[in-house]
């Protein structure tokens, strides 16, 4: 399957006259209708600045900025060589790279191998990740990018995470149904069984045109969503999506919303803003909060 970029796509350009385009932009604090100390994070512009990174607390009794110390003696599963055979055993996390055990490295997935080979061909170190400052939307994006949409996406994800974690804490012995999935493989699986309600995709996914690479995965996922009438929204970026869902050191390309119960208003807000931005993409008009639009 060949990667077919959007034929109507033009070159994206930064809008310096955006009314609220600045690196101190903060979304309004969002608090759900429950008793909790939970507060929404700031937007992607604060994730870009390392000085503004927030450290997560554990539980509702700890503050968001409270430092959490990790236990070096925590036991983790690893594949080690023992008596000439590879076995799975629990070892202290501190001994993973200390040399106390002969640890067998994890097998690299086919997609990661393709990405690393593509980087080597372009003269880039295989383990070098794309910089968050290189925020350039790709040709698969069919909407303009605005700060109000980014803030709405972030609030929706934050609220779904909060309710999922609260339910999981209440039912420790029961399996809690997922509200969202992450990654190409899981999103494509949910898309094919038609259980996906909304797909959120970063507009700056690394360009890998090799067969089976990221461009192939992006094209396949977008086509499958169109076939099943699933909305695709482009917003935030890989760095900020990873920071919202996992942590500040993770890059994430796609997130799929499976269940948005108790967050219907935020879901409708995201859909409404995305539809407006798609119309703006066609050259009808641009909003004051647009920070990337199309050249005329």
Q: How many other CB atoms are there within 10 angstroms of residue 224's CB atom?
A: 16
Q: How many other CB atoms are there within 10 angstroms of residue 281's CB atom?
A: 21
The three-class DSSP label of residue 99 is coil
Domains of the chain and CATH, by start: 12-64+108-294 (3.30.1330.30)
Please report where in the chains the tokens 């501190």 appear, as a residue. 94
The pTM score is 0.69
Which one, of 229, 236, 235, 220, lies nearest residue 277 by Cα?
A: 235
In tens digits, the chain (296 residues) has pLDDT values of 444 444 455 555 655 555 433 333 333 333 334 434 434 444 444 443 333 444 444 444 444 344 444 677 788 888 888 888 888 888 888 888 788 888 888 777 888 888 888 888 888 787 776 654 455 678 888 888 888 999 999 999 999 999 999 988 887 778 888 999 999 999 999 999 999 999 999 998 888 888 888 889 999 999 999 999 999 999 988 888 999 998 877 889 999 999 999 999 999 999 999 999 888 877 655 565 666 655 43
Three-state SS for 253-283 is CEEEECCCCCCHHHHHHHHHHHHHHHHHHCC
Q: How far is CA 186 from CA 58, 137, 172, 182, 254, in A?
A: 27, 23, 24, 6, 10
H/E stretch holding 180? strand 180-182
By DSSP bridging, strand 231-234 and strand 145-146 are unpaired
CB 279 within 8 A of CB 134: no
């Amino acid at each position: 399957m060949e990667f077919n970029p959007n034929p109507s796509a033009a070159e994206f350009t930064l809008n310096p006259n955006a009314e609220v385009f600045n690196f101190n932009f903060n979304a309004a604090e969002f608090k759900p209708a429950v008793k909790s100390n939970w507060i929404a994070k700031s937007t992607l512009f604060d994730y870009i600045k390392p000085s503004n990174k927030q450290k997560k607390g554990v539980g509702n009794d700890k503050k968001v900025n409270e430092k959490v110390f990790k236990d070096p003696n925590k036991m983790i599963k690893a594949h080690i060589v023992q008596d000439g055979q590879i076995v799975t055993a629990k070892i202290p996390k501190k001994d993973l790279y200390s040399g106390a055990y002969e640890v067998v490295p994890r097998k690299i997935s086919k997609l990661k191998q393709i990405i690393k080979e593509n980087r080597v061909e372009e003269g880039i170190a295989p383990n070098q990740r794309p910089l968050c400052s290189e925020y350039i939307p790709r040709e698969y994006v069919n909407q303009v990018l605005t700060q109000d949409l980014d803030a709405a996406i972030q609030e929706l994800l934050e609220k779904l995470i909060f309710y999922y974690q609260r339910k999981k804490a209440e039912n420790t012995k029961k399996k809690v149904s997922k509200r969202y999935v992450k990654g190409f493989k899981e999103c494509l699986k949910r898309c094919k069984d038609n259980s996906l309600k909304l797909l959120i995709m970063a507009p700056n996914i690394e360009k890998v045109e090799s067969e089976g690479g990221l461009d192939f995965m992006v094209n396949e996922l977008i086509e499958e969503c169109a076939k099943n009438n699933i909305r695709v929204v482009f917003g935030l970026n890989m760095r900020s999506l990873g920071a919202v869902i996992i942590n500040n050191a993770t890059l994430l390309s796609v997130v799929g919303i499976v269940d948005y119960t108790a967050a219907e208003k935020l879901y409708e807000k995201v859909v409404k803003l995305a539809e407006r931005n798609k119309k703006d993409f066609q050259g009808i008009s641009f909003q004051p909060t647009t920070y990337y639009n199309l050249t005329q």
